[in-house]
Amino acid sequence: MVLTYRPQRYPLHQLRDEMDRLLMGFLGPATNGPLPGASGQPAVNVWERPDALLVEMEVPGVKSDQLDLSVVGNELTIRVERPDGPDEGVIYHRRERPVGPMARVLRLPVEVDSNRVEAQITNGVLTITLPKAESAKPRKVNVTVG
């Protein structure tokens, strides 16, 4: 891969490129393209709170047993099986809803406590709460006057 930099007269562009590359290292795809056996990567939203990370994904039609979550180190893997519709005795005029296995791997920017990860599905929306590890939580440091 050849790295090219914009001329120095656009320092803002260069800064932006470098920030993009830095951020991609965290939440960007850990793999290029879908995982083996998966047909697509569903979109996710990720938030940070002082005590936890929140990951949300829209998974209409998915029951909890069609969902597989794992946290290994700082990687969260979400595997989803979107159920297929009936096939016999029907004619499909449109078939836009994605079906089949799909997966997403997120590289998390902070250490999380994998034992306390919680997930729930409400109205087709999956929400995963990943509490930060103690070492990653913000701490208030008291300054003593000497």
Partner 1 sequence: MTNENTIAKPSAEEAAAERTWAGRSFRPNVDILEREDELLVVADVPGATSDSIDVKFEDGTLEIHAVAPPRHAEYGDFLLREYAVGDYYRTFQVSEAIDAAKISAKYADGVLTLRLPKAEALKPRKISVSAG
To 10 degrees, the CA torsion angle through 32, 35, 37, 39? -70
CA atoms within 13 A on the CB side of 105: 16
Site string for partner 1, 1-20 (x = CB under 8 A): --------------------
Q: In this chain, which of 5, 23, 100, 116 binds partner 1, going by CB under 8 A?
A: 23
Residue 8 backbone zone (phi > 0: left; psi -120 to 50: alpha; other: beta): alpha
Site string for partner 1, 73-92 (x = CB under 8 A): ------------xx--xxxx
46 lies in the site for partner 1, by CB under 8 A: yes
- Cα(57)–Cα(60) distance, integer angstroms: 9
136 lies in the site for partner 1, by CB under 8 A: no
Kindly list the residues in this chain that would bind partner 1 in the complex (CB under 8 A): 23-24, 26-29, 33-34, 40-50, 53-54, 58-63, 85-86, 89-98, 102, 106, 109, 121, 123-125
